[in-house]
Amino acid sequence: MAISPSLRILPCANRKLKGLVVLATTASGVDIALDLLRIWDNTLLSRTITGGIFGLSCGLFVASLLGISPRFQLSPNERIGK
């Protein structure tokens, strides 16, 4: 819920990166939900893995928006603030 507004108001971001952020958020949510339902024990390892995936995907998403990474760089007319 916290990242949903930023994904909607930034249409120029790469679709694959948006999907990766949503997938990482879903994985973290499922990990927490399974622990609350007592189906899966949420361990330090599972939280580290899902948190790492989420952090990496958010970092790639922000870098893409800022045009830092050449692999996901936006064209000059798509940059934010122009």
From first to last of its 82 residues, what are the pLDDT tens digits of the chain?
455 555 555 555 567 777 888 888 898 899 889 999 999 888 899 889 999 998 988 888 777 777 665 555 556 565 555 5
Q: CA–CA separation, 62 vs 58, rounded Å?
A: 6
CA-CA distances (angstroms) from residue 53 to 28, 35, 38, 72, 80?
Answer: 9, 19, 23, 18, 25
Q: What is the pLDDT of residue 10?
A: 54
Domain ranges (residues) in the chain: 44-76
Q: What is the pLDDT of residue 78?
A: 59
Q: pTM of the full predicted structure?
A: 0.61
Q: CA–CA separation, 9 vs 14, rounded Å?
A: 13
Q: What is the pLDDT of residue 40?
A: 84
Q: CA–CA separation, 8 vs 80, rounded Å?
A: 14
